[in-house]
Chains A and B, each alone.
Chain A
Amino acid sequence: MASLKRSLDSDPLAANISSKVYVRSTKSGKVQKIVREVYLRQDIPCSSKLCRRCLNTSPRDAAGQPRPFVLSEAPAGTSVFQQGHYLVPDTNAFLTAMDLFEQDSAFYDVIVLQIVLEELRNRSLPLYNRLISLTKSEEKRFYVFFNEFRLETHVTRQDGESVNDRNDRAVRKAVAWYGEHLAGTGAPKVPAVVMLTNDRDNLRKAKAEKIPACSLAQYVNQLKDAEALLDMIPDTEDQETIIKDKRPGDPLYPEYFTISKLMTGVKNGLLHQGIFNVSLYNYLEGSIRVPAFPKPLIILGRENINRSIDGDLVVVEVLPKDQWKEPSTQVIEEDAVTKNENPDAEETGDIVSEKERKTLQEEVKRTQNKTTEGHAQPTAKVVGVVKRNWRQYVGHIDQSSVSQSSQQGRKQDTVFVIPMDKKIPKIRLRTRQVAELVGKRILITIDTWDRSSRHPTGHFVRSLGELETKAAETEALLLEYDVQYRPFPKTVLDCLPKEGHDWKVPGSVDDPGWRDREDLRGLLICSIDPIGCQDIDDALHSRPLPNGNIEVGVHIADVSHFVKPNNAMDTEASIRGTTVYMVDKRIDMLPMLLGTDLCSLKPYVERYAFSVLWELSPEADIVNVRFTKSVIKSREAFSYEEAQLRVDDHSQQDELTTSIRTLLALSRKLKQKRLDAGALSLSSPEVKVQMESETSDPIDVKTKELLDTMSLVEEFMLLANVSVARKIYDAFPQTAILRRHGAPPKTNFDELANQLRVKRNLDLSVESSRALADSLDACVDPSEPFFNTLVRIMATRCMMAAEYFCAGTQAYPEFRHYGLASEIYTHFTSPIRRYADLMAHRQLAAAIGYEGLHPAVRSRGRLEAVCKNINVRHRNAQLAGRASIAYYVGQALKGRSEAAVEDGFVLKIFSNGFVVLVPRFGIEGLIRLRDLAEPEPAAEFDAETYTLKTRGSREVTVELFGKVRVNVMDQKDEVTGKRGVKMELVSVY
């Protein structure tokens, strides 16, 4: 009886075929063995400009041209590789130090092996995307070499070899091959091919095989500006030794569950998954909203938060009922509590520091004093992190964490970085440049958060400049809110019309640009915008019709004429999503040429427009509506103030002014209708920073004035948006881009309603937007006119955020815009500054048969992705704008000689402090008990009546909604070097 294994040698092509076998687990729980055949080839080029052989054999494109080679013929050298060198990093090098590779000063001519790229994609998608964009940039000369498909560099896994070992071997083999291959080119100066890895084993093997290899640190040391670059290498090597030195078994945090355990738990409803949010006022308290419960779960304390950072997608387990707690009524700020921690000391003790423990004790005391147990809310603890949402953070070094010795000298030192975002914990940073970096805004990333370390560990990316310089602070804001502020790349600018600023509406009506356009140049159209507005999106006109009705037209810049779907400019705009307005700066969504000139509906010149024309009855009912592309000529560009003056001036009786008056009258009726339907008039404190025109230094802060003309423009824009929404939804019930504002869950208002009932005996009914609007109207305090606005501001904060969505993703009743009380709504009127409007333009153009619908605007999956992005961008833009105002308000205060004494209102009360809103500056500030007097006065906090009574060193009674007088100033915390608006209580009314 014989047995035989068929040998593959009989197959002449066997050498060229290999296979890759792995197990794939699908989402639905299937487990498959996957076999991929790999066909090995020899025509994959090395892409070095030195090599002629590869150039001859490399594959050609349709035009018979090979792809241009990437790697330079004379690459830069280092102190060790003076003949020049190419770099071949392994996966870990990219994983740990992607920032290094993005440097301008070094890291050119890099060979990215396919195996490395694939591994990186599996490990971290964001890093993969960053690497891909590096390989696309021409300056950096990154070349992706498909080593797995090239016969000479393919490596088959050996018996008993782990995947990692095999991949390391593949990297070494590729490096070796490159070395031999380049030596064979006969070039006078053959560059070295250097492997970059931090893996000791790999380095050792490379040495044995005589392959040039360096660890990241070794390599960076060979470069010129080693010092600065060294900080960007996370010190994994050092950590390894530290961990080895340390006694085992003192992890501070509980271990996470395994992925499979998490998934099983979530599926069975035993564990819950959601996004972790940190409380603004208490860094030791977080909440997580999970689908299973109507109210968010509370996560209290460091141990339960278990290394999650705001924004992470985590899995939590509900704690037993005896551990349920009330949400804290205390303000706990990380800076204050952990002020004097030593970053060098490896925490050997408990995870909760003495001070933290003390604050917790007070908490417990307070809870136990309570007789009412019904207030306790379910708490939870984090048992696993599904997805980290770590990004780069802007912050500054905590001066108190810098030891004296490190002010001089170049030795590596550990310091704390306080992120700008209060919700992000302190980050431990090891750097050699402490002296330079103190007092600077710096950008850092988090690398890890081990179980054994109280704070996350990160590394330095770059410095933005001195703290409190305008450039650094503005850039910090832009980075923090992920605003794309780099100049438009050339590919985008290439999409602009060739004529540049000389572009004109073609004179001849036969020109293709005039196709299907209505000539509305004869109409008396004008635009009304804020002062100094350059990107004029919209213009209006009205004229009486013979039948007694009125024709009203809203004309919107025809941006879709210039921005064609799917070109580079469109892609860039869809990524930017919106224009961001800062106090002193505007980050455009579209290049200047379009935004402020060609699209902008400037006065006295002809412009393409997209017009919505209504026939309205004198009662402002819509008789008829139509949409058309048009050519208009605006007669005048008014500012709100100018328009208001003109309308109020009864001596002005020209046609244009009367038409504005007609519009004004109609807009009042429209507004009344809207309010009758239950539209909310909400409020947020808005201020305007006045700048000195020369130096653009802020000199004063003013609250925004409300003018009739503002509401005129607003009403007609709303009307246009609603009309367009109906039209595009009719035409594209699946793909129309709409905007919705969900009704807020009732529980959101629970606290506010309770506060109003207790403090003012007012009733807040929230059954519908109409009921809410009415009860908000009823919230008046005759003695305090601002009270109503205050309640509106607080009510606004209970609302959901409005969002863009694709019609097919929601049922029709869900389309409702709660705030505007409209069944359906979209954004159409600001295509220059919002991408959603641009998409609505394209859909409307298709709906009226002006042009076909581009596939990009038709595919629902793509539209959903775009919506998701612009929702985020929109929110970030708002936050960035507000942060910018807050910063400038601070700067304006700093400029004053004496502190400003202003009226304020108490928004929120804690047991050890309260939050005051100062409407004059639109800012909020926290006043803690210990700020009231020295020593800290004792206080009695009554959560039932929202009253805080202090005794002892100073006696005041602070009540919710109470009016107080505060001293507002700008203050720098000497210890942490953090500057912020500071308030001091002067008196209570």
Chain B
Amino acid sequence: MASSQHVLLSPAELAYLHASLSLIPPIRPDGRSPTQFRPLVAETGILPGTNGSARICFADGTEAIVGVKAEVERTALRPGEDTIYLEEGGLEGGDDGEEGSSEDKRKGDASWVEMTVEIPGLRDDDSGTAFLSAMLSEALLADGEFARRLWINRRFHWKLYLDIILISPPLSYPLPLLSLTTHLALLSTRLPRLKSEGDEDPFFDDDWAAAPYLFPRSSETSAHTTTSTTSTSTRPPITLLVMAVANNIIFDPSKEELAVADAALAVSVTSTSSHTTTADADPIRQAQAQEQEEKEGRNLRLLSIRTIDPPSRLTPPGVANAANAAYGASLGASGQQPQQQQQKSTAVVPVMASETEAVEGVWRPPRGGAKRAVLGALVQKVLEGGGVVDEVLDALEGVDLG
């Protein structure tokens, strides 16, 4: 799969669409504003046997479910690390107060997360699927923060299996859907509560209700700040699809919109809390920091950017009337051999012309890379405070994790 299934639009339709999206403000076929997402229905906890799961259904009918399963796995010890300190166990809890030492110990590894993406009708080694999976896991693992959460002790870690399944046909490029569903599933993921200390064989509380969330919710984080690392209120990343048409930046493009994109980007962002000293023992300063956070909103951090090859490049170009032989553009139909030759040579000219200079109302697939300024503007728009990402994150936060 390229970024979408082939779009069955004629060049004229493409040209029309492109033109309307280029207006200021743009007019989208479904009447959304440029930053508006398609309406979606989301729920979590749909798979009781998993550690966390979610389902999201977009209004256009695409639907995905994600299940997260966690398993305890032994960490391969590096040479020189094979000493096990039983006695240290008791001190572990106290140690965490000084963040420096505990920070060093918790190391994550990309191999602790295994992700599979399944798109109906496609093989799992299809390049498109592999690309999706790479993008999603890249976003998760880019900053190493996520894998670090899976650290249990020096000898054990959680291995997380993310199964991402698109259960409807891919009516539009599924990246945002899969990313949001994964985000939601991770938000609802809980790992059994650890009871053992230090480097002992892990031993867990058998009460599921006591299992903490992998990403503690903000209300809980404040209660936990003293025992958790600095990045407690980090949320799982989301990957958004943004495209540019002329000077407009359009979020969450539908299949048709993507077909006329000048440039398309997959931008992965994560939110961290604005204050970095959550382990601060001083309650006043903590409260201040929280106030500050409320004021500023969340701190967005760019994790990765990927350019998406928009399907618009593969669409056939429109032919200007001037160049269209059907409109008697350049030649009659007399003469045999030389005429044919001549027709051939003359026919080349208008096509060339249509590629080099835009003709109003004639579809011309974009050529060449996206302009740097456009990319910059796209990223800027995504990271904008109070923008789309905030809106999306807020909405996802509102989903009941029950």
Q: Chain A: residues with CB nearer than 8 A to chain B?
A: 1-6, 19, 21-25, 29-31, 33, 35, 157, 161-163, 258-261, 263-265, 267-268, 270
Contacts and interface: CB of A to CB of B under 8 A. Distances in A.
Given A2-B40, A2-B41, A4-B43, A259 B206 contact: no
A739 B235 CA distance: 65
Contact of B402 (A4, A5, A29): A5
16 contacts: A1-B39, A1-B40, A3-B42, A3-B399, A5-B44, A6-B43, A21-B208, A22-B206, A29-B201, A31-B192, A33-B192, A33-B208, A260-B197, A260-B201, A261-B196, A264-B199
Contact of B399 (A5, A21, A264): A5
A88 B317 CA distance: 83
A21 B86 CA distance: 32
A653 to B, nearest CB: 78
Interface string B186-202: 00000010011111111
B281 interface: no
A23 B196 contact: no
Given A3-B395, A31-B192, A261 B208 contact: no
A268 B42 contact: no
A3 B41 contact: yes
Given A2-B40, A268-B84, A157 B209 contact: yes
Contacts of A268: 84
A260 to B, nearest CB: 3
Interface stretch (B48-56, B260-268, B288-296, B307-315): B48-56
A270 B88 CA distance: 14
Contacts of A6: 43, 46
A159 to B, nearest CB: 8
B207 interface: yes
Contact of B43 (A5, A30, A162): A5
B145 to A, nearest CB: 23
B386 to A, nearest CB: 15
Nearest to B49: A35
Interface string B89-101: 1000000000000
B398 interface: yes
Nearest to B205: A23
Contacts of B402: 5
A1 B208 contact: no
A603 B372 CA distance: 114
A19 B47 CA distance: 13
Given A264-B86, A268-B84, A30 B71 contact: yes
B211 interface: yes
Given A1-B37, A258-B196, A23 B48 contact: no
B211 A263 contact: no
B201 A267 contact: yes
A30 B202 CA distance: 10
A931 B392 CA distance: 91
Contact of A270 (B44, B48, B86): B86
Max chain B C-beta neighbours (<10 A), residue from A2, A21, A33: A33
Contacts of B48: 19, 21, 35
Contacts of A22: 206-208
B396 interface: yes
A33 B51 contact: yes
Interface string B231-247: 00000000000000000
Given A260-B196, A260-B201, A261-B197, A3 B40 contact: yes
Nearest to B84: A268
Given A23-B211, A258-B196, A261-B89, A4 B203 contact: no
B30 to A, nearest CB: 14
A157 B209 CA distance: 9
What 8 A-B pairs have minimum CB-CB distances, sorted nearest first?
Answer: A260-B203, A260-B196, A264-B200, A35-B48, A264-B201, A21-B208, A23-B192, A3-B42
Contact of B72 (A1, A31, A270): A31
A258 B402 CA distance: 32
Interface of B: 37, 39-44, 46, 48-51, 70-72, 84, 86, 89, 192, 195-209, 211, 391-392, 395-396, 398-400, 402
Contacts of A4: 41-43
A3 B208 contact: no
Given A33-B50, A163-B207, A258-B195, 8 more contacts: A4-B42, A23-B206, A23-B211, A157-B209, A260-B197, A261-B200, A264-B200, A268-B84
A615 B231 CA distance: 88
Nearest to B42: A3
Contact of B200 (A1, A23, A260): A260
B200 A263 contact: yes
B34 to A, nearest CB: 15
B211 A31 contact: no
Contacts of B86: 261, 264-265, 270
A409 B209 CA distance: 51
A163 B202 CA distance: 22
Max chain B C-beta neighbours (<10 A), residue from A30, A258, A267: A258
A547 to B, nearest CB: 70
Max chain A C-beta neighbours (<10 A), residue from B72, B392, B396: B72
A314 B144 CA distance: 42
Contacts of A21: 48, 208-209
A25 B200 contact: no
A1 B50 CA distance: 26
Nearest to A163: B207
Nearest to A28: B72
A554 B70 CA distance: 65
B204 A31 contact: yes
A584 B232 CA distance: 76
Contacts of B205: 23
A163 B400 CA distance: 23
Contacts of A29: 72, 201-202
B395 A1 contact: yes
A507 B70 CA distance: 73
Contacts of B202: 29, 31, 260
A35 B46 CA distance: 13
A271 B50 CA distance: 36
Contacts of A30: 71-72
B203 A259 contact: yes
A259 B203 CA distance: 8
Contacts of B395: 1, 3
Contact of B195 (A3, A161, A162, A260): A260
Max chain A C-beta neighbours (<10 A), residue from B41, B89, B201, B398: B201
A113 to B, nearest CB: 20
A866 to B, nearest CB: 33
A3 to B, nearest CB: 4
Contacts of A31: 70-72, 192, 202, 204
Given A5-B400, A157-B209, A263 B203 contact: yes
Contacts of B50: 33
Nearest to B90: A261
A344 B48 CA distance: 55
B207 A23 contact: yes
A25 B201 CA distance: 12
A33 B201 CA distance: 18
Nearest to A166: B209
Contact of B208 (A23, A259, A263, A267): A23
Contacts of B70: 31
A25 B42 CA distance: 32
Contacts of A270: 84, 86
Nearest to A37: B48
Contact of B392 (A1, A24, A263, A264): A1
A19 B89 CA distance: 36
Given A1-B391, A33-B192, A23 B204 contact: yes
A271 to B, nearest CB: 8
A609 B264 CA distance: 94
A265 B155 CA distance: 13
Max chain B C-beta neighbours (<10 A), residue from A3, A19, A23, A29: A3
Contacts of B392: 1
